[in-house]
Structure 1
Amino acid sequence: MAFVFHRLVKVEEALKILEEATGGVGPLGVERVAVNEALGRVLAENVSAEVDSPPFDRSIVDGYAVNSADVYGASEASPVRLRVIGEVKIGTPPEIVVDSGSAARISTGAVIPRGADAVVMVEYTKELEKYVLIYRAVAPGENVSTAGSDAARGDVILRRGKMITPREIAALVGIGINSVRVYRRPRVAVYSVGDELVKNSHELRPGKVIDVNGPALTSLAAECGADARYYGILPDDYKTILHALSQVLANHDVVITSGSTSAGYGDVIYKVFSDLGRVLIHGLNVRPGKPTVIGLSNNGKLLIGLPGFPLSAMIIFNVIVRPILVKMSGVLELEEWRTLRARFPFRMEAGGGKTEYIPVQIVETSTGLSAYPLLIGSGSTTALAISDGFITVSEERQFIEEDEEVQVTLFSQSYR
């Protein structure tokens, strides 16, 4: 017998139900990893500098290390002559002392020698045998990066909840950190469900379509910081799906399926979820994406059944699954890059009792950014290639007005 959607819930309500059922979605544990393996991980604790950065006073230009008092008043018209006593090279501790009336050649990054408190850029000098003419005065500390000026030992440099990018790796190495404590990645298993699905174009036959959702959803989960794995295609068969999902639940925190989520006779995901634990939600009051199923297994693992249409699956992933995986990953910082403001180009009917997600393409115009709607079906795969994101129209609305400013949720960090 077919199952009916007893109650359609709002996205906000769905997330609240999930929070209450799980006792709160959050990080799943902590582990230590080497800094060179920490890309994309999330810090589980504040990180403080173990050494001063830089570890010594160093020159930030090529030139001459001097005592600033010796070059006071130096100018193009009245240069100061100093005796050159040697050279300080990068990577070598200086063995010379800059006394009054003397200067030392110095390379960028080299240690400032004793007696010197500033560096004159080579562009403002002229060397004559054992002497150098200084054509510009310098202040104490000019062109010098002092020890600990970037970070002093004990300073908190990165805070808990920060996702590690190449910039953070550079900072960690620079302050003497070799390993960091990070949150464990949520382990996610992804399946596509449908008798009509095949892996690639070589397997296409009449009535068959290529599985788009499996690879796409796996990539989206990985982008959220998850350790995601695509396990392939399952037929619309209750016993096969139940067995497959039962096998991965022991070693995964989240199982994501796409397809077979509606209320037809051949749609069985809600039944599988029910027998693996309990169904929390079957049906969202949204368009597209209504046939979404969310459940919780008997061992506390999250079960998410997304619609089979690719555009629907991607949008529901962004509004339901992404917030969950980001919390599980431990990220505290908001993904501010994910939204931008743009103008809607014309009046359009939208909303009308359901929260509506409209895919858009961002166009740069002479008056700013415009969000042009892509009026295509949720089964379209080309929409994923040409759309930059989507706008959300609340269920209370009936229209989007011409030239109305809208918020666009981006699918990626940039638009075309």
Structure 2
Amino acid sequence: MKKLYYLFALIAVTFASCDPLSQTYKALDATPKTTAAATYTTTLGTYKSATDANTSIPASLLSKYPSASDGSSALVTFSLAPSSSNVAVPDSTLSRVSVTLATADYSFPASTLPNGTAVPGNSTAYLTSDGVINYLNYKYPTPAANQLVVLTYTYYEAGNTPSSGSTVTDSFLYFASGWIKAYTITPAQYTAAGRGANGYFSATDYAALSGFFNAFLRGDAAVMGPAKTGDVKYVSYKFTATYQKIMTLTYDGSNWVLKQTLQFLKIAGVWAPDPTVYITFPVVKNVTYAYLNNPANANIGTADARANVISFGDFSISGSGTTVWNDTDLTAALAAGLVEKIAKPVVGVPYTVTYYVYVSPSVVPRTKTFVYDGTNFVYQGH
């Protein structure tokens, strides 16, 4: 019996020592487990500037999410120091960026931008919301990035102004997607902030500015009516008697705050700022999609569909008929727009476009992402 016991023991040892997978099992047990690519959302502290945030946040993410695998992304919301929240405009000197229209300025001919976009002319003694964008495109055919114009002019809006219009002062910023109207602080608002005597803010007001502007925006029904979490407002204000500055505020669902959200990607074990370029094609009649009149784009959609989106500034996608866009043609129209609007695209960089569609009875935003392959903007998805 003892001999049988030794025989069984010898067989067991032999099988254990000869198992070719035993070391593999041990190696697998010793290998740290990795997780699938994931999306993280977090809030960090206050940074001196967006550049400072881009430099500092990757180390914080590596510490906060040590097991995140390559391909993961992180949406990071952070606060900006009040003095660094201004948009960097090429010229903020009030005497140079302020323009007051004379009677003769309201009449200007139709023109064409360097990229081929047609700009309608104007013959009235006032400008509408579309007309003022047309004027800016006519007056500044090759604006600088973030260019600021503070414009005093006669504005007309049916049902909201006298038939002859009203004199207003508005601020406009030029971004890659075109001219946008900023929120300009009024004389009454300077007075409400205790700065009515001078009509401007100074360096000693920096800490209080975001609070003032939040109160003004929250008290403005035209702003709060359509406001959604994540919306951004560019607030234009006088800084001393010499400058006009722009502060960026983001709506958090309750207040307009000094916050920004940036996306980071983990690549080769390192977190880095997401290189995606975000562009908005605004709803501006006869301007945003005027490039679809170019002969090179004649095969995109139907003639009626192109005319419709040019006229209204949004794509009709509901119902039926010759003005309705299918998704393939709509994607091609946006890609053609990127060719017109991005002078020097970067190979491999994603370009995410926010555009607007008409889904009866509402106009709503949608997004599509493209990557430039060196020749074309290739659609990647929503």
Structure number with greater Rg is 1
TM-score (norm 2): 0.21
Looking at both structures, which has the greater relative contact order when contacts are Cα pairs under 8 Å and sequence separation is at least 6? 1
TM-score (norm 1): 0.20
